[in-house]
Structure 1
């Protein structure tokens, strides 16, 4: 088996999504189980687009971990850097779905296996041979995962790879915002592309004004900042200047995972060498498809599905 062209690093958990739609968490009777976690969702999305992708994370030595490994294998994701953790269990997330607003998510992960990623888990040769490393930044929240994350970013940059950060801001995962900003800043300084939704951009850019926040981030060294704005589309800042792309019109079922679908689409466009406009349209369409479906990982579209939606809007990715 050859080396992946892209790796994702970070959260790998089990998602338990309510079968009853529009019901508060306390009244949910049954849940459906999926592979979850931003890094894992993005890996599945990239695989479905046709990328050769690997995942860097940990799972517990438990039935949930076995389930996640089986799903990743079925999706074609390389798991040679997914390690079994004999101390901590696989993390869980329960979600009550209330369209069209954001759903309620309850995490069980203090502590959990993916946060216990070790420096010794990293195959630096393989990371250096890949074209892109995508980091879901909740991996920075606690040690030893934060040290492993920063080491992977540093090595990938030193060996000529592209570093993409999904800001993935989850305040409950951190002790305080000052600590979070410190580690985010260290990671951003090692990055080439930063992808964030509007609240995340305001947090790391320390401004509610998207332009001001993006300019501050670009000052740390990234070449591109991509702001996901939900129904308002996408705002891009980079060498080509500023770009705005409208959202695709779909019926919204579940907004969870839309950002991961967008990120997978955007990174796939980077791998293909597409123009910024092509990347943005493709990524926006991928995210739109995800919000029309129940889950995160299983909602990830194929390349043909994305291209069909893009074509229906009169744009193209080729």
Structure 2
């Protein structure tokens, strides 16, 4: 039986999102529980679009870990490289939602299972059979996860696979920006595609000017940089030149999962061999659908939903 066409690697946690909208976490009385974490959300997004996808990560030896494993399998995500950590618990994130602005997030993950991903968890033979690897860069924040992520990127490159980096820059996970910059640059030298929102692009590219930041990243050997700019749309820098597509207008509920929905859809377009503009439009529409819904993973659209929104936009 053939393995997944694409793997995602990195953060897998439980999201607990406030049911009361516009209420700070100190006053929230109830939460909805979802599968969460950038790598996991992206895996679910790819599965719903129709890709054959697996997740490389860890869960804790607890009921939340069981919940995450069950949800992934229900979504059709391969869990052959999902390990159960013998000690560390499953990470959590609590979020208060303030649409249309950014949400307030409180992480419980020091320590947690997914950050303890190890080289022994990776079946490199199976990884070599895949066409693509998507790494959420919070996996680089601490050892042994960072070594596992870098080894996976190197192995996938050596076998001819495409490496996609979701920069997933969260300063609170790192000892210092200087340390983060070192490991980000190391990973980007192994990347073919870099996906970044505006703060991530500025951090990784060393400039507040998006064009300058993108060019700095491309000089590391990255093939294409995709800049997610929220309501200002999307910019593409790469071998096919420069492209810009507008944002898809929707009523915003929760901005947290937009980047993961975008990344899943863009990666799906790469797998399908679509031209740049088609990939960008499809990804922008997928991200828009996610921000219009309450959760991240549960908000991930099907291909039919994305195509329907694009068709409506053209009318």
Q: Which residue of 2 aligns with 1:95?
A: 95
CA distance in 1, matches of 2:181, 2:28: 36
TM-fit CA distance, 1:2: 2.5
TM-fit CA distance, 1:308: 0.5
TM-fit CA distance, 1:305: 0.1
CA distance in 1, matches of 2:265, 2:219: 25
CA distance in 2, matches of 1:151, 1:29: 43
Q: Aligned to 2:203, what secondary structure does the other structure show?
A: helix
Q: Which residue of 2 aligns with 1:68?
A: 68
Structure 2 gaps of 5+ residues are none
Per-residue Cα deviation, 1:177-203 (whole angstroms, up to 9, x for no partner): 000000000000000000000000000
Say whether 1:300 aligns with 2:300. yes
Q: Which residue of 1 aligns with 2:202?
A: 202
TM-fit CA distance, 1:50: 0.1
Say whether 1:46 aligns with 2:49. no
Q: Which residue of 1 aligns with 2:180?
A: 180
Q: Which residue of 1 aligns with 2:147?
A: 147
Say whether 1:160 aligns with 2:147. no
CA distance in 2, matches of 1:170, 1:248: 26
For residues 190-269 of structure 1, the aligned pairs below 5 Å read 190-269=190-269
TM-fit CA distance, 1:230: 0.4
For residues 252-291 of structure 1, the aligned pairs below 5 Å read 252-291=252-291
CA distance in 2, matches of 1:87, 1:69: 17
CA distance in 1, matches of 2:288, 2:153: 29
CA distance in 2, matches of 1:262, 1:310: 14
Q: Aligned to 2:56, what secondary structure does the other structure show?
A: strand
CA distance in 1, matches of 2:298, 2:20: 18
Say whether 1:312 aligns with 2:312. yes
How many residue pairs get aligned? The number is: 315
Q: What TM-score do the two structures reach when normalised by structure 2?
A: 0.99
* Aligned alpha-carbon RMSD (Å): 0.7
Q: Which residue of 1 aligns with 2:81?
A: 81
Q: Aligned to 2:314, what secondary structure does the other structure show?
A: coil
Q: Which residue of 2 aligns with 1:116?
A: 116
Structure 1 gaps of 5+ residues are none
Per-residue Cα deviation, 1:114-159 (whole angstroms, up to 9, x for no partner): 0000101001111111010000000000000000000000000000
CA distance in 2, matches of 1:48, 1:224: 25
Q: Aligned to 1:213, what secondary structure does the other structure show?
A: helix
Q: Which residue of 1 aligns with 2:107?
A: 107
Instruction: State the 4+ residue runs in structure 1 displaced beyond 4 angstroms.
Output: none
Q: Aligned to 1:8, what secondary structure does the other structure show?
A: strand
CA distance in 1, matches of 2:189, 2:314: 37
